[in-house]
Amino acid sequence: MMGGELAHEYMYLTPIGEDTLLLCDGCGYSANRQIATFAKQANPAEAPAAPEKVATPNTTTIKALTALLNIPAHKTAKALFVMATVGSGQDKKDVFVLAVVRGDMEVNETKLANAVGALEMWPARDEEIRSVGAEPGYGSPIGVEGALVVVDDSVASSPNLVAGANEPGYHLKHVNHGRDYTADVIADIATARQGDGCLTCGAALRESRGVEVGNIFQLGTKFTEALGGDFLDAAGKAQPVVMGSYGIGVGRLLACIAEEYHDEHGLIWPVAVAPYQVHIVLLAKGTGAAQEAGEQLYADLGQRGLEVLLDDRRENPGVKFNDADLIGIPLRVTVGDRGLKRGIVEVKLRCEKERRETPVEQAVEYVVEQVEKLQRELDERVVKVEYKG
């Protein structure tokens, strides 16, 4: 979408994702549904039969057509009509595109747009469909004029399909590409779905939803050539700069982290991205010993390079603990008059239920250790993803 030939997307897999991905457990193939390829089941070879017009009243869907004629959907062809803006500069124009896929498949709009080089695409209106000689609900490329006909490769190779007759209430049996109509473009324009075969290894593809949290676009010299972004090479010759675009969706990442790391009480930030590493909850009335100890701990931890949030609001403990759970700082230290009388403060990890007591004088060391441990545990889970350009 940014231009260039190749893009690489980094996806967080989640049912709430806005993208659909096709994944192969057999060979590791993975692609956005917008471009995912799949192995199309070929229809058996047959000698082309003579076209035959059949009355199909009120039969404007593949479902109705296959029920009426008692044939499988893969023996039918269906048409989609869109208007597309193609070309560039002075040559930019709107064209009528007639796309055909087999009845057991769906048109993939991104693949179709790529096949015709469309800058923009929108559904054609009924009068536009009729103006090229096609009929809404009964459409096919047969007899159509003034349309860019784009045919899925599976249609071009499937003999004797049932297709619209471009006449209300009628279809044609035994329609064959090359004899009854000719495509301007033959391409893969069908959408891959769950259970379709992987083009590489044949295993069944699996669908998953995902959120795109990062991407790489190989822009090449597309923009530098257009805008004159040159450098002088060793021989003093001007060359266009080769560009790459490397994006991280910071807002999306935060949303995905929140999705992955939370419980019914609130967020559980991983230590690497937490806004603070330590949350000191002060249970003190007035300016007693707890206030002093809490502020000292705050200063000492800061000295050790930790980011610390100090809750010294005059709220009751329940409110403060609830807020701490809600905000989700990885490590909570509770400093209260009662604990201090026994010489301890309480340390609790947000990701655990257990509370641990530690002597006040060892608190700084203990907290630093715990933060380092959290970081180590996170580092161990990092999965290195090779960029296969």
Write out the two tokens for 369.
């250790």
Q: Which stretch binds Zn ion (CB under 5 A): 29-37, 100-108, 132-140, 153-161?
A: 29-37
What is the CA angle 63-69-70, rounded to 5?
Answer: 80
Tell me which of 201, 226, 227, 272 binds Zn ion, using CB under 5 A.
201
Name the minimum Å distance from CB 77 to Zn ion.
28
Name the minimum Å distance from CB 192 to Zn ion.
12
Name the minimum Å distance from CB 377 to Zn ion.
33
Alpha carbon separation from 301 to 283, 323, 346 (Å, rounded): 18, 21, 15
Question: Identity (one letter) of the amino acid at 135?
Answer: E
Name the minimum Å distance from CB 80 to Zn ion.
28
Looking at the Cβ atoms of 172 and 198, the one nearer to Zn ion is 198
The Cβ of residue 231 has, within 10 Å, a number of other Cβ atoms equal to 11
Name the minimum Å distance from CB 82 to Zn ion.
31
Tell me which of 21, 101, 198, 364 binds Zn ion, using CB under 5 A.
198
Tell me which of 27, 49, 55, 226 binds Zn ion, using CB under 5 A.
27
Tell me which of 11, 21, 29, 290 binds Zn ion, using CB under 5 A.
29
Listed in sequence order, the DSSP H helices in the chain are 62-69, 109-116, 126-131, 153-156, 222-227, 250-260, 289-303, 317-327, 337-341, 363-380
Tell me which of 21, 24, 112, 150 binds Zn ion, using CB under 5 A.
24
- One character per residue 202-221, x = contact with Zn ion (rule: CB under 5 A): -x------------------
Alpha carbons 156 and 116: distance in angstroms, whole number: 17
Looking at the Cβ atoms of 203 and 378, the one nearer to Zn ion is 203
Name the minimum Å distance from CB 37 to Zn ion.
10
Residue 48 DSSP label: P
Alpha carbons 180 and 172: distance in angstroms, whole number: 11
CB under 8 Å to 229, separation ≥6 — which residues? 223, 240, 241, 243
Looking at the Cβ atoms of 24 and 144, the one nearer to Zn ion is 24
26 contacts Zn ion (rule: CB under 5 A)? yes
194 contacts Zn ion (rule: CB under 5 A)? no
The contact set with Zn ion (CB under 5 A) reads 24, 26-27, 29, 198, 200-201, 203
